[in-house]
A = this chain, B = another copy of it.
Amino acid sequence: MAQTPAAADAVPPSLDGRPRANELRAEVARIAEELTGQGTPPRLAVVVATEDESTAWYVRSIARAAEKSGLECAISTLSPGSSPEAIRAELARLSADPAVHGVILQTPLPEGAVAADLAAAIDPAKDVDGANPLSLGRLAAGLPAFAPATAEAVVELLDAHRVPLAGRTVAVVGRSTVVGKPLAHLLLGRDATVTVCHSRTADLAAVTRRAEIVVAAAGRIGLITGEHVGEGAIVVDVGTNPTPEGGLAGDVDTASTARRAAAVSPVPGGVGPITTALLLRHTVRAARGARERAV
């Protein structure tokens, strides 16, 4: 189909995450095969305590990706009415199981349950999604730790597209414990100058427009528009908002943003595939670590 110039304008250079995700998954498959051959098949456990449809879809996609790469994936499905104690007990059981190498606590959680609080029951050596507050603290302090996969995926995506970070200004929109805050630490560790914005930021567009890189991780469809982005900025979209049609939409309004940004990451196909691949990489690394400690 022939494109009009206006339509061509509306398509920005895309920060495709799939090539890097494929590389990572090939590396993971190689290590998984090696470990399985040594009698340590890497195993990821996912604890779910919700009937939320988009969560179920996401967990199935992790399980499929794990199996494709030669990892075992076990899903512990708890009742959505589970008490925090029951969830904590399951996380502790999996942490103590020597056959399990990675443990993920999937959100949303039953009312009254606080993810970071429960995740303290995940052994840091198996905390492949960096959910235990100890992992976050170690990350912030520059000590070895698993970072939350989504936060790390943003950095991997930028690295894959050779976007330099040292000395660059980055606006992170969203201050969640799972993305915004750990991402700020990863970016500081890479010598970026980092501004964390959020729902109470007084003039969001004025702040993000000044940044060379904008990372949208607020969980609000279309929050970031052309007026939020400086000329030539790089925009990474972490949003995975379910649409009424059963699809996935990011936090970035691509059409208006594209007119100013140098590049925008797509949803789906940007941060998402790398996130899944990193969860698997963390799990095979955890399995290798467990094996080395046991030998």
A residues near B (Cβ < 8 Å) are: 114, 116-117, 132-143, 166-169, 175, 177, 181, 184-185, 188, 191, 193-198, 200-202, 207, 210
Q: Is the CB of B193 within 8 A of A193?
A: no
Q: Is the CB of A175 within 8 A of B200?
A: no
In the complex, which residues of chain B have a beta carbon less than 8 angstroms from the beta carbon of A134? 133-134, 137
Q: Is the CB of B114 within 8 A of A143?
A: yes
Q: Is the CB of B177 within 8 A of A141?
A: yes
Q: Is the CB of A143 within 8 A of B167?
A: no
Q: Is the CB of B116 within 8 A of A142?
A: yes
- 18 sample A-B contacts, Cβ–Cβ < 8 Å, listed by A number: A132-B137, A133-B137, A133-B143, A134-B137, A137-B138, A137-B139, A137-B140, A140-B181, A166-B200, A167-B201, A169-B207, A181-B188, A188-B198, A191-B198, A193-B195, A193-B201, A194-B195, A195-B196
Interface centre among A114, A116, A136 (most CB of B within 10 A): A136
Q: Is the CB of B133 within 8 A of A138?
A: yes
Task: Tell whether A196 pairs with B193 under 8 Å between CB atoms, given A133-B134, A134-B137, A142-B116.
Answer: yes
Q: Give Cα A201 to B187, complex, Å.
A: 12
In the complex, which residues of chain B have a beta carbon less than 8 angstroms from the beta carbon of A136? 136-137, 140-141
Q: Give Cα A132 to B202, complex, Å.
A: 33
In the complex, which residues of chain B have a beta carbon less than 8 angstroms from the beta carbon of A140? 133, 136-137, 140, 177, 181
Q: Is the CB of A167 within 8 A of B202?
A: yes
